[in-house]
Amino acid sequence: MKLIAKTLYGLEKTLADELISLGAKAVQQVNRAVIFEGNNYLLYKVNYCVRSAMSVLMQFSEFRIRSVDDLYKSSFKINWSDYLDPDRTFSIVPVVSSPMFSHTGYPGLILKDAVADWFRQKTGKRPSVDTKDPDIVLNLHISNDQVTISLDSSVIPLYKRGYRKEQGSAPINEILAAGIVLISGWKGETSFLDPMCGSGTIPIEAAMIASHIPPGRFRKFYGFQRWKDYNENLFAQVKKESEAKAINPGIKISGSDISDAAVLIAVANVESAGLSDIISISRDDFKDVRTLDSEGVIILNPPYGERIKTTDDLYSMIGTSLKHNFPGYTAWLITSDKESLKQVALKPAIKTTLFNGALECILVKYEMYQGSKKNK
Ligand SMILES: C[S@@+](CC[C@H](N)C(=O)[O-])C[C@H]1O[C@@H](n2cnc3c(N)ncnc32)[C@H](O)[C@@H]1O
């Protein structure tokens, strides 16, 4: 079956690599998504184990339309009893970009009518729409004349891992946090530090990567669990196999932050994720943070100025501290504040664009050689 994993802009390659390692076939990167082939086993496994996807859709119908009427007619031809019953509820999420429809909601209403009419004609009864807690979520995607209809197998977005007890003022999306760790290539071999850790998202995602802990461990629900063909035993097998891969990485991950409130939140989240043995959180100004190791990875998510006010010299302090206090380290910094980023005044080895929600960000990599100089 054709599966589509959705992600954030900039993480398509990272997601494609993850999917291949989970067993996906015919993997194809598109804008903010990766298309692949798989069966129910893979669908459950991807939902439970993938770190850089927002949701996974199972596409079951694809057709072209020349008019608004075509949408109804083609939707009516689908054998809806494969996915729905009159006593189940459904909702429709329309994602529409087509000159045939000026309102996104309208094609959703057409699809709803086609589903209701199909059941009324076949069974005399029709399933109801429930927008709050539906059994089945249909994703209606229309791009010009191309229509695809899918079931959303995640429903609750996959960044909602379930470990977050509290959030700070500007938490990074869990998918982006995991994506940056995956992009960095760090797998737990060296020390790892997030010196502006806020609510602790990056250290937690890093610890789960190093420990091979599936990100689904804390989740209570996936959309596929309400599908007609849901196989409880198969999902239990997926969970068992995935959990069996967890290891004790035998390393320490450090998170620190200048804010007392952030430290309290990070500690609560680390405890909730069961990672207190691996992650230590402390209250420190980054300029005072030192390391004893000769190499390691730092991931920094400093204030952007959008949601937290930045002090004028924050980014130049970051550059100076990285250069003087972390020789031998590799640092990755993500920010949307392109102007302030210049004040770091270190030469980036890599620069790439990512999105944190709607915010366009730059991810930069700095290599701090022993005795490196600013602008070397
Ligand atoms: C964008 S937030 C980090 C969000 C975090 N990644 C999360 O998921 O919650 C930036 C953090 O940098 C911290 N910060 C600002 N200046 C700092 C400094 N000089 N030293 C350490 N932390 C600092 C702020 O307190 C804030 O928690």
- Work out the pLDDT band at 356, boundaries 50, 70, 90: confident
Total-model pTM = 0.94
- How close is the Cα of 196 to the center of ligand 1, in Å? 4
- How close is the Cα of 34 to the center of ligand 1, in Å? 32
- Work out the pLDDT band at 104, boundaries 50, 70, 90: confident
pLDDT digits (tens, 9 = 90+) for 201-210: 999 999 999 9
Q: Whose CA is nearest to atom 13 of ligand 1?
A: 196
Q: Is the pLDDT of residue 374 over 50?
A: no
Instruction: HSE, CB side, 13 Å, CA atoms: give it for residue 298.
Output: 31
Ligand 1 contacts CB of residue 259 (under 6 A): yes
Ligand 1 contacts CB of residue 198 (under 6 A): yes
Ligand 1 contacts CB of residue 336 (under 6 A): no
Number of neighbouring beta carbons within 10 Å of residue 213? 25
Instruction: Render 38-49 in DSSP notation, one character per residue.
Output: --HHHHHHHHHH
Number of neighbouring beta carbons within 10 Å of residue 353? 10
Q: What is the pLDDT of residue 372?
A: 46
Q: Which atom of ligand 1 is nearest to the CA of 304?
A: 1
Q: What angle do CA 160, 202, 376 make, to 5 degrees?
A: 145
From 169, 205, 258, mutation site for ligand 1 pocket: most ligand atoms within 8 A of C-beta: 258
Q: Is the pLDDT of residue 194 over 50?
A: yes
- How close is the Cα of 168 to the center of ligand 1, in Å? 9
Cβ–Cβ under 8 Å, residues 95 and 57 = no
What percent of the chain shows pLDDT beyond 90?
Answer: 90
What percent of the chain shows pLDDT beyond 70?
Answer: 96
- How close is the Cα of 195 to the center of ligand 1, in Å? 8
- Work out the pLDDT band at 373, boundaries 50, 70, 90: very low
Q: Which is more confidently placed, 312 or 137?
A: 137
Cβ–Cβ under 8 Å, residues 68 and 96 = no
Ligand 1 contacts CB of residue 286 (under 6 A): yes
What is the Cα–Cα distance from 275 to 281, expressed in whole angstroms? 11
Q: Is the pLDDT of residue 180 over 80?
A: yes
pLDDT digits (tens, 9 = 90+) for 124-173: 999 999 999 999 999 999 999 999 999 999 999 999 999 998 777 789 99
pLDDT digits (tens, 9 = 90+) for 14-59: 999 999 999 999 999 999 999 999 999 999 999 999 999 999 999 9
The residue type of 316 is S
**CA-atom Rg of the chain in angstroms:** 23
Ligand 1 contacts CB of residue 199 (under 6 A): yes
From 173, 196, 315, mutation site for ligand 1 pocket: most ligand atoms within 8 A of C-beta: 196
Q: Which atom of ligand 1 is nearest to the CA of 199?
A: 9
Q: Is the pLDDT of residue 309 over 90?
A: no
Token pair, residue 60, equals: 């079951």
Pairing of strands 89-97, 55-64: unpaired
Q: Which is more confidently placed, 313 or 234?
A: 234
- How close is the Cα of 162 to the center of ligand 1, in Å? 22
- Work out the pLDDT band at 376, boundaries 50, 70, 90: very low
Q: What angle do CA 157, 239, 206 make, to 5 degrees?
A: 60
What average pLDDT does this structure show over 92-120? 95
- Work out the pLDDT band at 200, boundaries 50, 70, 90: very high
- How close is the Cα of 189 to the center of ligand 1, in Å? 25
What is the Cα–Cα distance from 212 to 343, expressed in whole angstroms? 37
